[in-house]
A and B are shown apart, each in its own frame.
Chain A
């Protein structure tokens, strides 16, 4: 199975909103509501910020939101803050006990 497709970069000014897409196929993103998103700061382990398309773990600000339409999932970061600058990865269950990651998106806060 191929990796999920994400844009390599995204950017926004403080206070603005930015949306990152994650495109898969009808066998993974389009077939399961098991899309999750991870935030990774340089030199750190990834951190779960969205699971099951739109749910937030305890402690994750509600500035982070997720959605899905067809084979594409999206992560929206509202009210951008400097600390949101990081790499973001999507993941989806792909059936048959397989999981997939996206290639990652580097978010820059201008």
Chain B
């Protein structure tokens, strides 16, 4: 069945970088845009942005420009989220989520990757 499988938990020091992967299976990767969503501990969902899997063109939500970079490797049907200059406030679960083109709905989600930033 359609799956998004994310990389494992990360523990990083402030100022470091992290790259989270989201490997897809059982569907045509380029037929759906890929989104990233952040959920800080005990908090709600925040849309980070999405990437067009045909063109590789990313769109970032306000507050997620500069240190957040979305990328792809279409040869292995995988999307990536890289965060640089990590801050304690970046501590959160990060989800990848496939979006339906016509309904703007996140129909399939990854299991989430916990990124902890601590000295």
Residues of A within 8 A of B (CB): 1, 3, 32, 34, 36, 38, 40, 45-48, 51-52, 55, 57, 87, 89, 91, 93, 97-104
Check A52–B105 contact: CB distance below 8 A.
yes
Flag whether B47 is at the interface (Cβ < 8 A): yes
Q: A45-B110, A93-B104, A97-B59 are in contact. List 6 more A-B contacts (CB 8 A).
A: A36-B103, A40-B45, A45-B109, A46-B37, A87-B44, A99-B61
- Chain B residue numbers with a CB within 8 Å of A48 are 105-107
- CA gap between A32 and B112 in the complex, in Å: 29
**A51, A52, A99, A101: which contacts B44 (Cβ < 8 A)?**
A101
Q: Is the interface of B mostly helix, strand, loop or mixed?
A: strand
- Chain B residue numbers with a CB within 8 Å of A87 are 44
Chain B residue nearest to A34 (CB atoms) is B104
- Knowing A97-B50, A98-B61 are in contact, say whether A46-B103 is a contact too (CB < 8 A): no
